[in-house]
Amino acid sequence: MSLDETSVATLRLTFSNSNHQFCCEFQLSETISRFTSHDSRQLRKIVVLKYGKPSMLSVKTFTFNPVQENTYVLYNEAGQCCIIDPGCYFQQEREALKNFIEETGLQPTLLLNTHCHLDHVFGNKWAAKVWDLKLHIHEKEKAVLDFAPQSGEMWQMPFENYDGELIYLKEGTTINLGNDELEIRFTPGHSPGSVCFYHEPGGFVIGGDVLFNGSIGRTDLPGGDFKTLFNSIQTQLFTLPDETKVYSGHGPMTTVGFEKMNNPFVKLY
Ligand SMILES: [Zn+2]
Ligand SMILES: [Zn+2]
Q: How far is the CA of 96 from the centre of ligand 1 (A)?
A: 22
pTM over 0.95: no
**Among 256, 252, 136, 121, CA closest to 184:** 136
Amino acid type, 197:
F
Among all bound ligands, the one having the nearest atom to the CA of 141 is: 1
CA of 76 to the centre of ligand 2 (A): 26
Per-residue pLDDT 10s for the chain (269 aa) are 334 333 443 343 233 333 333 333 334 444 444 444 455 556 655 654 555 455 589 999 999 999 999 999 999 999 999 999 999 999 999 999 999 999 999 999 999 999 999 999 999 999 999 999 999 999 999 999 999 999 999 999 999 999 999 999 999 999 999 999 999 999 999 999 999 999 999 999 999 999 999 999 999 998 999 999 999 999 999 999 999 999 999 999 999 999 999 999 998 77
How far, in Å, is the centroid of ligand 1 from the Cα of 203?
A: 23
Of the listed ligands, the closest to the CA of 119 is 2
Ligand positioned closest to the Cα atom of 148 = 1
Q: At what angle do helices 91-103 and 124-131 cross, to 10 degrees?
A: 40
Q: How far is the CA of 13 from the centre of ligand 1 (A)?
A: 42
**In this predicted structure, what is the pLDDT of residue 81?**
98
Question: What is the 181 CA–ligand 1 centroid distance (Å)?
Answer: 24
Buried b (16+ CB within 10 A) or exposed e, 50-61: eeeebbbbebbe
Ligand 1 centroid, distance to 109 Cα (angstroms): 24
Q: Which CATH architecture has domain 58-262?
A: 4-Layer Sandwich (3.60)
pLDDT value of position 268: 78
As to burial, measured by CB atoms within 10 angstroms (0-12 exposed, 13-18 middle, 19+ buried), residue 143 is middle
Q: What pLDDT does 54 receive?
A: 53
Ligand of minimum distance to the alpha carbon of 221: 1
For residue 250, the ligand closest to its alpha carbon is 2
Distance 102 CA to ligand 1 centre (A): 28
Q: What separation in Å is there between the alpha carbon of 107 and the centre of ligand 1?
A: 27
Residue 190 CA to ligand 2 center (angstroms) comes to: 10
The ligand minimizing its distance to the Cα of 194 is 1
Query: What is the DSSP secondary structure assignment for residue 169, as one 8-state letter?
Result: E
Distance from the alpha carbon of residue 3 to the mean position of ligand 1, in angstroms: 50
Distance 245 CA to ligand 2 centre (A): 18
Residues contacting residue 66 through CB under 8 Å, at least 6 positions apart: 89, 157
- Where does the chain hold its CATH 3.60.15.10 domain(s)? 58-262
* Distance of CA 78 from the midpoint of ligand 1 (Å): 31
- Give distance in angstroms: CA of 245 to centre of ligand 1: 19
Can you give the pLDDT at residue 44? 53
Return the pLDDT at 267.
Answer: 80
Spatial distance between the Cα atoms of 74 and 61, rounded to a whole number of angstroms: 9
Ligand located closest to 220 CA: 1
Q: How far is the CA of 60 from the centre of ligand 2 (A)?
A: 17
